[in-house]
């Protein structure tokens, strides 16, 4: 029998730290562009105000700034869906290193391009088009990166999935704090924006360094290497009956040679060799991966849950929530209200919800209460639409207070992070270890599907306010 090698320890939690940073790196593109929506809107408005009647702009350009958030959300999530699906094909044809390291390099280059664009003057239409194209491409590479890393982390013990998701949750907080510091600084708006977009360049470099470090860590090699891990010499012990070979041939087809021990000794060696061969053959069969359909049948509840959570979340955040206006007295708070009460509140609590799953996992994956609680989150959609969203055409304002809006956002975001993380970490547990990577890739697709559905719904919901 083959002996499984004991798993080495994660010395200094280095693998955990690496996957935390890798999780953070996967969502830097989405979060930095989303949090910078006020910068983009102001620049579009400023460009439009400088357009003369004979310029390339049309009207006051308000259409570009008015629909910027909806277009940004949709063009962020559509490539995530398409390239996550494409990644399920690419992962068999393109090596993991190329997909992950290559995506990080292109994301870094696009962040550098966005930072440089801060200093480049453009008319409204061209700036809008270039920004949307950048958002499309940077999220396309982000989708390949995220899908590949979800498949990778699914091969590790379950707690590393929670650590990875916690890192993703911190990406939004990282972006919100960077925007808060840029707004609070006394620097010129252009310099502040430049510093803001340089920050994710540094973060992406750190993410790439963490990925390159993984092959050097014994704990990561044990779980992420190809095939099962066995103690050195285990196979030799199995084949010791015939000098390290099966019947003298690799395929066991040659007759056994009698070395003088007699018929009984030869027969015993033949029996032991046959047992070793059958044991190896049986192990190969058990390592055969299940089909995608078979894996989906086992994880469909978790797939539904992660889809529904993100459908609800993206249908109102940020397209609706970013237009909530403070009812406090005019002043400096106006500049900080959306950054603090919308982006920072959402991202801190989303990260908190993901992190809590490392300590509490309720309901259990088999419980029918789990999907029921996920569906109940739909109540946050009307609650947020009834806050002080401006401008509005149809619905009244029931929750005008800044504090009430912040509380609703906190509950909305902590439940989002908690149920997403549980869904993503439960799914690999519902399949055999050999199918964990397939389950992780499938869950990433349904995560992207939920984001895309939510982004599409955000247009309609914003018009209904």
**Which neighbouring-strand residues pair with 246?**
249
Give the model's pLDDT for residue 245. 38
pLDDT in tens, 30-70: 889 988 888 888 888 876 555 444 444 444 445 677 778 88
Return the axis-axis angle of helices 124-153 and 28-35, rounded to nearest 10°: 150
Q: What is the pLDDT of residue 399?
A: 94
Nearest 5°: the CA angle 320, 323, 327 is 125
**CA–CA–CA angle 102, 135, 154 (5° rounding):** 50
How far is Cα 358 from Cα 372, in angstroms, rounded to an integer? 22
May I ask the CATH class of domain 12-226+288-464? mainly alpha
Query: pLDDT-based confidence at 274, cuts 50/70/90?
Result: low
Burial of 188 (0-12, 13-18, 19+ CB in 10 A): exposed
Determine what percent of the chain is predicted with pLDDT higher than 90.
38
- pLDDT, average across residues 394-413: 95
Both tokens of residue 344? 């920072």
Residue 281 confidence (pLDDT) above 80 = no
**Closest C-alpha among 370, 377, 349, 380 to residue 425:** 370
CA distances from 260 to 239, 257, 269 (A): 19, 9, 13
Phi, psi of 230 (to 5 degrees): -125, 155
Lowest mean pLDDT among 21-25, 285-289, 322-326: 285-289
Distance of CA 326 to the CA centre of its chain: 32
Average pLDDT of every residue of the chain? 81
- Residues near 433 by beta carbon (within 8 Å), at least 6 away in sequence: 155
In 11-95, which residue ranges form alpha helices assigned H by DSSP? 14-26, 28-35, 37-49, 62-66, 68-90
Residue in this structure with the two tokens 């996957």, named with its chain if needed: 19
Average pLDDT over residues 279-289: 55
Instruction: List C-alpha distances in Å: 115 to 26, 109, 177, 199, 252.
Output: 19, 10, 18, 10, 63
Cβ distance 418 to 355 under 8 Å? no
Q: Determine what percent of the chain is predicted with pLDDT higher than 70.
A: 80
Q: How confident is the model at residue 92 (pLDDT cuts 50, 70, 90)?
A: low
Structure token digits, residue 97: 């290193």
What would the pLDDT profile of 218-273 be if each residue is shown by its tens digit? 888 888 874 434 334 433 443 343 433 333 333 333 444 444 455 555 555 555 55
Residue 133 forms beta bridges with which residues? none
- Phi and psi at residue 125, to the nearest 5°: -65, -45
Residue 117 CA to residue 273 CA, distance in Å, equals 68
Structure tokens at 206: 């750190």
Rounded average pLDDT over 102-128:
92
- Cite the residue boundaries of each domain of the chain with CATH code 1.20.1250: 12-226+288-464
User: Residues near 249 by Cβ (< 8 Å), separated by ≥ 6?
Assistant: none
* Long-range contacts, 230-233 (Cβ 8 Å, 24+): 230/2, 230/3, 230/4, 230/5, 231/3, 231/4, 231/5
CB 34 within 8 A of CB 202: no
Question: Which of 24-38, 297-311, 418-432 ranks highest by mean pLDDT?
Answer: 297-311
What pLDDT digit, counting tens, does each position of 368-390 carry? 999 999 999 999 999 999 999 98
pLDDT-wise least confident of 50-64, 335-349, 355-369: 50-64
pLDDT tens digits along 172-227: 889 999 999 888 887 787 888 899 999 999 999 999 999 999 989 888 888 887 44
Cα–Cα distance measured from residue 364 to residue 366, given in angstroms and rounded to the nearest whole number: 6
Q: What's the CA gap between 12 and 34, in Å, rounded?
A: 34
């Amino acid at each position: 029998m083959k002996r499984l090698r004991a798993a080495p320890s994660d010395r200094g939690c280095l693998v955990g730290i690496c996957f935390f940073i890798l999780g953070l790196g996967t969502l830097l593109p989405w979060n930095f562009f989303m949090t910078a929506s006020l910068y983009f809107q102001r620049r579009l408005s400023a460009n439009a105000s400088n357009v003369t009647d004979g310029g390339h702009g049309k009207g006051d350009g308000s259409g570009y700034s008015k629909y910027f958030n909806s277009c940004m959300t949709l063009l962020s999530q559509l490539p995530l869906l398409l390239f996550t699906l494409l990644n399920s094909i690419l992962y068999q044809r393109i090596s993991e290193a190329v997909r992950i390291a290559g995506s990080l390099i292109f994301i870094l280059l696009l962040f550098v391009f966005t930072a440089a664009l801060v200093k480049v003057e453009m008319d409204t239409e061209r700036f809008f088009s270039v920004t949307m194209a950048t958002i499309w491409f940077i999220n396309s590479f982000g989708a390949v990166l995220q899908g590949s890393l979800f498949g990778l982390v699914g091969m590790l013990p379950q707690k590393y999935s929670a650590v990875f998701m916690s890192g993703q949750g911190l990406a939004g907080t990282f972006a919100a704090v960077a925007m808060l510091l840029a707004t609070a600084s006394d620097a010129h708006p252009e310099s502040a924006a430049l510093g803001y977009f340089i920050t994710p360049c540094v973060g992406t470099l750190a993410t790439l360094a963490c990925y390159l470090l993984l092959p050097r860590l014994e704990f990561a090699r044990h779980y992420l290497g190809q095939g099962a891990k066995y103690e050195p010499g285990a196979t030799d012990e199995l084949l010791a009956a015939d000098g390290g070979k099966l019947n003298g041939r690799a395929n066991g087809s040659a007759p056994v040679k009698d070395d003088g021990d007699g018929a009984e000794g030869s027969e015993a060696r033949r029996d032991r060799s046959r047992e070793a061969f059958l044991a190896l053959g049986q192990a190969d069969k058990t390592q055969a991966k299940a089909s995608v359909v078979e894996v989906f049948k086992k994880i469909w509840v978790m797939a539904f849950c992660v889809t529904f959570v993100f459908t609800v979340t993206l249908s109102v955040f940020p397209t609706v929530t970013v237009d909530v206006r403070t009812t406090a007295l005019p002043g400096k708070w106006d500049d900080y209200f959306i950054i603090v009460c919308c982006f920072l509140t959402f991202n801190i609590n989303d990260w908190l919800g993901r992190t809590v799953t490392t300590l509490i996992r309720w309901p259990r994956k088999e419980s029918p209460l789990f999907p029921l609680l996920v569906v109940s989150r739909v109540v946050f959609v009307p609650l947020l639409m009834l806050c002080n969203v401006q401008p509005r055409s149809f619905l009244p304002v029931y929750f005008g207070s800044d504090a009430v809006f912040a509380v609703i956002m906190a509950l909305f975001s902590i439940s989002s992070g908690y149920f997403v993380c549980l869904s993503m970490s439960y799914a690999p547990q519902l399949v055999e270890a050999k199918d964990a990577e397939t389950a992780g890739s499938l869950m990433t697709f349904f995560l992207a599907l939920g984001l895309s559905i939510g982004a599409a719904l955000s247009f309609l919901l914003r018009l209904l306010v």
